[in-house]
Amino acid sequence: MDDQPPVAAGGPPRRRRLRVRLQRRMKTLSRSPAVVRFVGRAIYEALRLVYATQRRAAGSSDFAAILAREHPAIVALWHGQHLLAPFFRPRRLPYVALLSRNADAEINAAVVERFGIATVRGSGGRVREAASQKGGARALIQLMRQLREGFGVCMIADVPKGVAREAGLGIVTLARLSGRPIVPSAAVTSRRRVLEKTWDRTTLPLPFGRIAVVMEEPIMVPADADAAVLEAVRVQLTAAIERANRRAIELADGNGTH
């Protein structure tokens, strides 16, 4: 048998350990309050610049009138299509946004709160499983309380790391329990970059373009809705948000004004 050469000191195993240690330190640093505040402010300022350079696309919904009429409503959006959501909230209307409970969501919270929008932590797609998930129960209770107090709710309809652009039962359940309408919504800019490798095809809005905002007819969920009705509304909501999203893309790209 051939003799195997000894592994040199400081070889691949040691480099791997150093790399793992460095990655852990960078992850810890990225979650520090100071870094979260800095990155949150940078994203907030970038979004303000993007919005300030946009022209309203012809054919967009009169979102201010719709949200004022339906207030307090549950505004439903897709993951990856939500970065411009703070810009179509009428400033005179109070809103709260549901964000996930993982540590990475701290930056999202820092951005949203700079827009004057309060935050609630929990999984929007899973609030129906409140009995087995304390985080889901707390989020559901907080959102219902906020709606009773006159706050609208901005909620991502599809479930994180689940099937992109397919509404979960969480938002439908909140509408049933609260008696408030769901407003299927989408916002798209003509100049944008789609991150194809992300699970939700996150879309980054770019400056100096047109912004289109589309809202579908509000959806009410009966208070006595059983599992079959909830599922039917979930399917209806999925179709409505995607319809709004396709229409917003058409308007932003100048293909839907005729």
Alpha helices in the chain (DSSP H): 12-30, 33-52, 63-70, 105-114, 134-148, 169-178, 227-252
| Average of per-residue pLDDT values in the chain | 85
Q: Inform me whether the pLDDT recorded for 258 exceeds 70.
A: no
Residue 87 confidence (pLDDT): 87
Q: Inform me whether the pLDDT recorded for 253 exceeds 70.
A: yes
Tens-digit pLDDT profile for residues 185-204? 999 999 999 888 887 778 89
More confident: 51 or 33 = 51
What are 161's strand-pairing partners?
Answer: none
Q: Hey, what amino acid is at 44?
A: Y
Q: What is the mean pLDDT of residues 88-108?
A: 83
Q: Inform me whether the pLDDT recorded for 33 exceeds 70.
A: yes
Q: What is the mean pLDDT of residues 54-73?
A: 96
> Binning pLDDT at 50, 70 and 90, where does residue 173 land?
very high
User: ∠ CA(208), CA(243), CA(224), 5° rounding?
Assistant: 130
Global pTM? 0.82
Residue 75 host element (H or E): strand 74-77
Q: Inform me whether the pLDDT recorded for 82 exceeds 60.
A: yes
The domain limits of the chain are 33-252
CATH architecture of 33-252: 3-Layer(aba) Sandwich (3.40)
Q: Inform me whether the pLDDT recorded for 247 exceeds 90.
A: yes
Tens-digit pLDDT profile for residues 200-235? 778 899 999 999 999 999 999 999 999 999 999 999
> Binning pLDDT at 50, 70 and 90, where does residue 105 land?
confident
